[in-house]
Amino acid sequence: MNLSATQQILDEVLKSRNVTYQPEHRILQDLNIDSIEVISLIVEIEQKIGCELDDETYLTVLEGTICEITEAIERLLAAQSQG
């Protein structure tokens, strides 16, 4: 999953908003999404990657930047492919 794929998921979840996303934006602080949108975002990420987020990746979605979220998802997928 690359940055544009993460942004595509954000666009789907937040389609009613007219926001330009940057890699340094944080989901809660910069995009001001509500709890329902956060749940939708997490569910869509899990569906897109085909697995549940681990605790570390989940926290990154809540606290990290879009770039950090992408990196965390890539780490999760790499770990799953190895084991």
| Structure tokens given for 64 | 């990290």
Long-range contacts, 8-12 (Cβ 8 Å, 24+): 9/41, 9/44, 9/45, 9/48, 10/41, 10/66, 12/44
Percent of the chain with pLDDT over 90: 29
| Structure tokens given for 17 | 């908003």
pLDDT of res. 18: 73
Q: Is the dihedral of CA 46, 47, 48, 51 positive or negative?
A: positive
- pTM, 2 dp: 0.82
Whole-angstrom distance, CA of residue 41 vs CA of residue 9: 7
Going along the chain from its start, the domains and CATH numbers come out as 3-82 (1.10.1200.10)
3-43: per-residue pLDDT in tens?
677 778 777 777 767 777 788 999 888 988 888 888 888 99
